[in-house]
Amino acid sequence: MTPRCHALVPCAGVGLRAGANGPKQYAALAENTVIGHTLNALARVRRVERILVVLSPQDDRFEAHVPFFEGWVARVGGDTRAQTVANGFATLAERGARDDDWVLVHDAARCLVRSEWIDALIDSCADDAVGGLLALPVADTLKDERDGRAVCTVARDHKWQAQTPQMFRLGLLREALQQSGGEVTDESSAIEALGHAPKLVRGSPENFKLTYAGDFALAERLLRTRT
């Protein structure tokens, strides 16, 4: 049976650094919400069979902010991203996902993602033995910091900035997250810890994660001027 593609969106965080009034995924943005833009982009990818949004058990706001959503919702989020993703895998398996199916894990707060970038990731990884992720080569000079001061310059050669989606087989990624102990900050690092080398697929500078208060104004401008 041909492996299918599923999307999993961990959406159980509170976004404290963003300074938003409540979880940043529900912040209003360009006539929608942050999570609304994210889910719209994923829904336009025809090869994604189903989208699962993993929420905190205490979340009572999702349906009001995303009334159009036709995918799956599971209120099984954990204390960390890795726990939330792992709990989401259990839900996917309960609903028929197989270990050899692909899962594209995407940050709820990367709301400027475009469906064509996701399609490019699927094209690049569909026949890959490991899977991969959207990422960007680091262009800026990097500094190591101590107490607010630059103490040395870090070589940027061969350095990439990880983005999402990150696309791996459900069974492999579940094993990787179990082995990681839940301390990883993205899925690729868990796969790497098993000795695999995920494929880097060039993304876009626009596919940034809304983290700080100023990110919202930039995202608003970009969304309103898109063609």
* pLDDT tens digits for range 120-153: 999 999 999 999 999 999 999 999 999 999 999 9
Sign of the dihedral through C-alpha 171, 108, 16, 77: negative
**Is a pLDDT exceeding 60 seen at residue 38?**
yes
- 151: region left, alpha or beta (phi > 0 left; psi from -120 to 50 alpha): alpha
Q: How far apart are CA 124 and CA 201, in angstroms?
A: 7
Q: Would you state the pLDDT for residue 18?
A: 46
21: confidence class by pLDDT, cuts 50, 70, 90: low
56: Cβ contacts below 8 Å, ≥ 6 apart: 12, 75, 77
Q: Would you state the pLDDT for residue 20?
A: 54
Q: Which two tokens stand for residue 40?
A: 């719209």
Q: Would you state the pLDDT for residue 29?
A: 95
Q: Would you state the pLDDT for residue 14?
A: 65
Helix (H) or strand (E) holding 66: none
Mean pLDDT (whole number) for 30-34: 95
* pLDDT tens digits for range 47-101: 999 999 999 999 999 999 999 899 999 999 999 999 999 999 999 999 999 999 9
Range of 196's domain?
5-224
Q: Which two tokens stand for residue 185?
A: 């900050």
User: How many domains, the chain?
Assistant: 1
Q: Would you state the pLDDT for residue 23?
A: 86
* pLDDT tens digits for range 191-224: 999 999 999 999 999 999 999 989 999 999 999 9
**Is a pLDDT exceeding 90 seen at residue 164?**
yes
Among residues 57, 184, 227, 33, the alpha carbon closest in space to that of 111 is found at: 33
Q: How far apart are CA 155 and CA 167, in angstroms?
A: 28
CATH (domain of 92): 3.90.550.10
**Is a pLDDT exceeding 50 seen at residue 13?**
yes
Q: Would you state the pLDDT for residue 189?
A: 97
